[in-house]
Chains A and B, each alone.
Chain A
Amino acid sequence: MFSIEVGSIIFFITLCLSCALFYKNFSKIIRNINLGKSAGEFTDKKARWKNVFFIAFGQKKMFKKPLVAVLHLIIYLGFVIINIEIIEIILDGILGTHRILYSPNWAGWYNFLINSFEVLALLVLVSCIIFLIRRNIIRISRFHNKEMEGWPTSDANLILIFEILLMSAFLIMNAADLAMGHVNKDWPGTGSDFWISGLLAPYFHSMSFSSLYFIFKFFWWSHILGIFGFLNYLVISKHLHIILAFPNTYYASLTPKGQFNNMSSVTNEVKIMLDPNSDPFSQPENTSSPARFGAKDVTDLTWVQLLNAYSCTECGRCTSECPANVTGKKLSPRKIMMDVRDRTEQLSKGIDKHGENFADEKSLLNDFISPEELWACTSCNACVEACPLNIDPLSIIIDLRRYLVMEEAGAPAELNSVFSNIENNGAPWQFPASDRLKWKEDE
């Protein structure tokens, strides 16, 4: 009995440590998202929950690519449903029991559950292998843009390999368990073989009970430690989308995609400029001007835009639909989202080291995203439409353009003449405003 107690204690400590570590790191992500500015009110809760239900839970937008959507759905359902088994694993781990939820009274139900988990586990395993093949052998082009070089590609492969290992551990653990029952009739079974591990078990029948027990324990521990590890891997990975997809779809914009927000800070200034009674030299007393117009760094973006960045799983559907990217321009909406997350993480590390007022010489604009990328955007909303999670790279592009134009007068020369034409003639071209109705005369 002593050995079980040691096992229980080690298990309990590992469980607590991994949960505490996840809590600490996930809190940091929430802190980082809150580095963003206020995003205003979120009205129409009904429509928002509808989006969470259909787009996050239902994965509606994934189904634009049906085959991938089915494979993704399998992994998602597998992940959610097989994790029910974790309840039993954790209880067994803490109490030192074996399949605590099993009782001969509901053997049918228990076996049905484990059988479903096993079928799902096999399907997940196959799906992950197909995904690995798509990425690495078929080499689907959207997984191999420039921004995917290095860590992002390893991250994607690691997630898939992780899942394959977890599913294998789960199936082998069950197979060893069944084999133990075959070798030693006193080993508590569940009354029948499981569907998938039952096929594996005969390969173990020639082994001794103690070897099987070791294999069982080894894979039992690998499986649960793998899950703890995976949980903590999430916070440094693009895989975080499995959590943030839900808030992200809730807070996503509900207005027509063509509509850009009106900057209220600008409205105040414009009203003063247009008011004939206002003294142009007086400073408005109560209105504090914003630090800057538009966004130069991630702290100028809203927290929803930062949540967008942390929710991005780098699937690249946005980039593969982007007209600028498709025709070989530098702009990639996915890179915009990755840059926002990378820059936020950079600030986060600085804040951890130097305190909350940390500032450095770097910024999102220029150090991560170049004006060339920004000016290639046609604002066509293809990226926003393509995103399975309703991430909005376009709003970030526009906020960066706003900074470039309003703070640095950094628009391309042609656009600067368009601006002065609009100011002087009320049209982007150099025609006199007095000719505006001429169209009806000339033939």
Chain B
Amino acid sequence: MNLTVTTMSEWRSKGQTPEVLFWVGSAGSFDDRAKKITKAFVKIMNQANVKFGVLGLEESASGDIAKRAGNEFLFQMQAMVNIEVMNSYNIKRIVTTCPHDYNTLKNEYKGLGGDYEVLHHTEFIYELINNKRLIISGDFKGKKITYHDPCYLGRGNNIFSVPRELIKKIGFDLVEMPRSKKTSFCCGAGGAQMFKEPEKGKQDININRTQEALNMNTKVIATGCSFCNTMITDGVKLLAEGSVEVLDIAELIVKAESL
């Protein structure tokens, strides 16, 4: 498997400008599960001959976690450093696989000097398909799937239909959980919860959500966020190890199209 990944500084030394910046994000760079999603998305972009750049070592944490945890200082420090780097490359368009970074880059960098068009990777893939740059054969006909809305993509930014459209294009039969779209139930990772033990309670949030997803009796649970993916994967391990796959939409496409 050969991935073509070019950094922004490499593009610059070639004297070229890529069409989009792929913001990999901290999880996408370091977390083992999230790295697979990063690579799946890169495969799709390679397949569609997308000229994209990454910041590589010049990228730093977006500050989303710091901000949700109340550390506004650290968030703004991170934001301003990242904005300075991105503005030095004259970035206009960003795509990311992380709904949290998507929200932060799109909505919160704006007031600090970073004004970009930001897309979630599902939006970007959708655009590639509409522009006929990526052909989806829809081989998964008749297979049942359920989709978990990441809070920061769905409720947070009103992106509900694009991921669902993609899932349908791949050919899956989408089964909706009782709590979906605007009333979707959190996986338990947001607001910096991913990095701490939950407070005392009766149940872990991810178990509650995973049980709901398992009740749909599908072979696959799809998400569009690596944190949701980790939380639900952990839930599946506890409740029904091996019975269900938890996959990102980018991974679904890679599987469907054998990329």
- List A residues at the B interface (Cβ < 8 Å): 64, 255-260, 262-263, 266-267, 269-271, 273-274, 293-294, 321, 323-324, 326-331, 372, 375-382, 384-386, 398, 400-406, 411-412, 414-415, 418-419, 422-423, 426-429, 431, 433-440, 442-443
Contact = CB atoms under 8 A, between A and B. Distances in A.
Given A259-B108, A412-B196, A382 B3 contact: no
Given A266-B72, A381-B151, A385-B155, 19 more contacts: A256-B103, A258-B155, A294-B72, A321-B183, A323-B186, A376-B198, A376-B199, A378-B151, A382-B151, A382-B185, A385-B183, A400-B70, A401-B69, A404-B70, A415-B69, A418-B66, A426-B60, A435-B30, A436-B30
Nearest to B29: A436
27 contacts: A256-B156, A256-B157, A256-B158, A258-B155, A260-B68, A262-B76, A262-B108, A263-B72, A263-B76, A267-B76, A270-B76, A294-B70, A321-B183, A326-B185, A330-B199, A380-B190, A385-B183, A418-B65, A419-B74, A423-B77, A426-B78, A427-B29, A428-B61, A428-B65, A437-B54, A439-B30, A440-B3
A43 B31 CA distance: 41
Given A378-B189, A437-B7, A411 B208 contact: no
A403 B112 CA distance: 21
A257 B185 contact: no
Given A415-B195, A426-B26, A437-B7, A274 B107 contact: no
B196 A414 contact: yes
Contact of B192 (A274, A418, A439): A418
Contacts of B157: 256-258
Contacts of A384: 155
* Size band of the interface chain B makes with A: 35 or more
Contacts of A258: 103, 107, 151-152, 155-157
A381 B99 CA distance: 14
A381 B193 contact: no
A422 B69 CA distance: 13
Interface of B: 1, 3, 5, 7, 24, 26, 28-31, 35, 38-39, 42, 54, 56-57, 59-61, 63, 65-74, 76-78, 80-81, 103, 107-108, 111-112, 151-152, 155-158, 182-186, 188-193, 195-205, 207-209
A415 B65 CA distance: 9
A419 B197 CA distance: 16
A105 to B, nearest CB: 53
A120 to B, nearest CB: 32
Nearest to A401: B70
Nearest to B112: A262
Contacts of A443: 1
A382 B108 contact: no
A414 B152 CA distance: 23
Contacts of B202: 327-328
B69 A323 contact: no
B151 A380 contact: yes
B69 A411 contact: yes
A434 B29 CA distance: 11
B112 A423 contact: no
A375 B199 contact: yes
Contacts of A418: 65-66, 69, 192, 195
A267 B112 contact: yes
B77 A328 contact: no
A442 B72 CA distance: 34
A422 B65 contact: yes
Contact of A428 (B26, B81, B183): B26
A380 B68 CA distance: 10
Contacts of B72: 262-263, 266, 293-294, 402, 406
A328 B208 CA distance: 11
Given A259-B107, A415-B195, A439-B35, A323 B188 contact: yes
B241 to A, nearest CB: 21
Given A378-B193, A422-B61, A436-B59, A324 B151 contact: no
B38 A423 contact: no
A440 B103 contact: no
Nearest to A431: B30
A256 B195 contact: no
B155 A381 contact: yes
